[in-house]
Amino acid sequence: MRLAHTRFTVTAGAIIFNQAGEILVLKHRFRAGSGWGLPGGFLERGEQPIDALRRELREELGLEIEDVEIFTARSFRKPKQVEILFRGRGSGPVTPRTMEVERAEWFSIDALPQGLPRDQRRLIEQAAKSV
């Protein structure tokens, strides 16, 4: 059965707001394009999506989030991937703790970084409307 079924990688990401309504965006060293994007990462074997997200945020930034809810899910053909996006709140400074994250910053929705993918901009705008 496994040979006949397509496999997907699964990631958990988040649109995280602070108390000022700013959004957390990371610049990853190994991400295609400008490197800017929403925080998140791959699930480990047997890991639940919310646990993967919390682990990634702790490892990469030392950040804890609250008021977390599933915002949306989407799938991609290339790469074969399912992404589960959460929305939540975080606070405090964000300092990269791993070599894969070059920068971590809070941005106003009106001043998101150049090079942030359009699909992620749209998701941020949608998430901000329903906060």
| pLDDT tens, position by position, 89-125 | 998 789 999 999 999 999 999 999 999 999 999 999 9
User: Residues 5-58: pLDDT tens digits?
Assistant: 567 788 999 999 999 999 999 999 987 788 899 999 999 989 999 999 999 999
Residue located via tokens 């915002």: 71
**pTM for the full predicted model:** 0.89
Query: Can you give 14-71 as a three-state secondary structure string?
Result: EEEECCCCCEEEEEECCCCCCCEECCEEECCCCCCHHHHHHHHHHHHHCCCCEEEEEE
Whether 18 and 65 have beta carbons less than 8 Å apart is answered as no
